[in-house]
Chains A and B, each alone.
Chain A
Amino acid sequence: MEKYKMHILICGGTGCRASASEAIQNNLQDALKAKGLEEEVQVVMTGCFGFCEKGPIVKILPDNTFYIEVKPEDAEEIIEEHIIKGRKVMRLLYTDPEKKEVVSDSKHMGFYKKQIRIALRNCGFINPENIDEYIATEGYAALGKCLTEMTPQSVINEIKDSGLRGRGGGGFPTGLKWEFASKNDADQKYVVCNADEGDPGAFMDRSILEGDPHSVLEAMAICGYTMGADKGVIYIRAEYPLAIERLKVAIAQAREYGLLGNDILGSGFNFDVEMRYGAGAFVCGEETALIHSMEGLRGEPTVKPPFPAESGYNGKPTNVNNVETFANIPVIINKGAGWFNKIGTEKSTGTKVFALAGKINNVGLIEVPMGTTLREVIYEIGGGIKDGKKFKAVQTGGPSGGCLTEKHLDTPIDFDNLLAVGSMMGSGGMIVMDEDDCMVSVAKFYLDFTVEESCGKCTPCRVGNKRLYELLDKITEGKGTKEDLDLLRNLSTVIKDTSLCGLGQTSPNPVLSTIENFYDEYIAHVEEHKCPSGQCKALMQYVIDPELCVGCTLCARNCPVDCIAGDRKEAHIIDTAKCIKCGACMEKCKFNAISIQ
């Protein structure tokens, strides 16, 4: 068998592929061929490395050299310099923004130092389209162990002991969920994988499916074994074409190897997986709505009980778990519950994947032990706030979460702590905001999303959220009153208390948490009619300082609505009634004469 001396790994996640990582792969292969090295150096397209900020990533093993922002035309230089001459291409290495030092390999990068990768263990490590690489890294060993050495109940006990809780947001103990489903007898049962990742800014499930699809298939089969189900269904949004493609490849390979299908590993256990595509409705992340959507009905939630464990898909006992939850299962079986539950905190064991987004230096995907503080995540792994700005807030848990502030930064992240401070774990989106962000507008942005995504079944959510949005809109327009703030609070509480599903029960969270933590900002909007961060267009005015204006006419010539008047070499004036606040004049002015008031 060929044994390569070096491996070149290229990120094949959606983000890096959009930046031409396929062309990089081809160029690297061509360059190797031209030098007669194709037998010595292996080029592999892997899943996401997580460091999306600086993609496309090319990593060279065994020395772990980590090249960032690689372009297809850099391929030849990498081969010529690094592979042949053994000299690292310095200009493509990562420079630590604080120490200003070049970091040659991933082991010394702040971004990776604090991470423990369990769910993401194979992302950026194996070729997701090659089942052999998965098997070589313990793949399907957990399924084999369960089928031949463990009873369904002992598998359930192992998962219960591990303390694993649902990673989709609910945080319900996974072992318990499996046990419920296993206890209900029926002629047909189902395992469903919830890959309907809907939080804006969250992409962990997509990355796992793109980078390590077999781990999810393996875990679904293990789940099927515990509850006596022979059918698995992955409900995935159609907006994830690459994840769908890789899943298709993985399912076909697993069937070919007999790791899906009848009589798996000679155990007599049958299990197969198919896919259902969702249209990307946020509410379908809720398990009952998801099941209805799978059945071809409207994606609307229904009252629990009955829980899906009793009556789910097609009225049969069904167990629904999130992608990340499943990705943890094989590791727990292989390494044992005792290994897993030592990671993290007492009530939230293991790790959690977070998608860092917003005004943060290292946008990307990270996996940290539960109990890591927000400060560690934002400053040590995330590299701090962009452009040296000041941290203002972090939104955890997507549109249903709350905005946390400076004073919460030392909170250890776990399910219960985040709830206690008025936010939630959610699926793990983490959006960082800086001093330039207006918190009223942020709340409005999330409400805009939930209004759009509410299924409309129950009144508090359908009408209530719309009213919340209108109130917030009124405030950002400068027409709000102090009474509106009380109304916002009352209405939010009512919506939370009376909505049927998780969407309505959590959608007012951004409103409540911003009122709680940024009350001054709301007051500034309703009493002084000012937006302290200068984001609310209706509350700001562009003015020209006559002292600084030299009358170059550049602003007047660039104004799209011709609202700037003034003669050559005379100070100009903006007609604020006509101004559309596009900011073009301010951008063009070379004398800093235009400012926002």
Chain B
Amino acid sequence: MAKVKSLADLKKIKEELHAKMDLREKSNDPEAQVQIKVGMATCGIASGAKEVMEFLIEATAKRGINSIVTQTGCMGYCYAEPTIEVTMPGKEPVVFGDVDLKKADEVIEKYIKQGELVDGIIPVNYKTIDNN
């Protein structure tokens, strides 16, 4: 590593390194982020949840959306896999079913960016222990 020669240099390095720590900083304040959970049980993975998750991580980062994408276990909607649960800051979670790449794109563009609901919402019939 070359020497850091000026404050501008330091700032540049910081910018470069920022992506590495981004995930950790966001985790410090999860409530301020768009939280997306992807169902990654056997049924989800078989239906392509892994690809969807990767797409969500990359697409939200590219489009400048502060998000935390995590995986979760089977949500119980095996008939509609892959399923994702999206929690906008300060709002109730919304679950979308049959999320392929196209649908994921639609969720980002319409629901996350503009707050419009899209087809495929599954009424939530569970509570998680996190929401106490």
Contact = CB atoms under 8 A, between A and B. Distances in A.
A147 B6 CA distance: 10
A309 to B, nearest CB: 29
A86 B72 CA distance: 4
Contacts of A126: 21, 24
A32 to B, nearest CB: 15
Contacts of B24: 7, 9, 61, 125-126
A568 interface: no
15 contacts: A4-B23, A63-B70, A85-B73, A86-B38, A86-B41, A86-B70, A86-B71, A86-B73, A87-B72, A133-B20, A135-B13, A138-B14, A144-B10, A256-B3, A265-B10
Contacts of A137: 21, 25
Given A141-B14, A144-B10, A101 B129 contact: yes
A256 to B, nearest CB: 6
B119 interface: no
A136 B14 CA distance: 5
Contact of B21 (A63, A84, A133): A133
A62 B30 contact: yes
A515 interface: no
A108 B57 CA distance: 25
B59 interface: no
Interface in B44-103: 53, 57, 68-73
B10 A141 contact: yes
A266 B5 contact: yes
A138 B11 CA distance: 9
Interface string A1-25: 1011111010000000000000000
A104 B1 CA distance: 40
B129 A135 contact: no
B30 A5 contact: no
A105 B41 CA distance: 21
Contacts, number: 107
Contact of A85 (B18, B25, B41, B130): B41
A101 B53 CA distance: 30
A102 B18 CA distance: 33
B17 A132 contact: yes
A64 interface: yes
B110 interface: no
Interface in B3-44: 3-7, 9-11, 13-14, 16-21, 23-28, 30, 38-41
B132 interface: yes
A136 B21 contact: yes
B47 to A, nearest CB: 14
A140 B130 contact: no
Contact of B6 (A3, A9, A145, A266): A266
A136 B1 contact: no
Nearest to A148: B7
Contact of A62 (B11, B14, B41, B68): B68
B19 A5 contact: no
8 closest A-B pairs by beta carbon, nearest first, are A258-B3, A86-B71, A136-B17, A144-B7, A136-B21, A87-B73, A62-B68, A61-B27
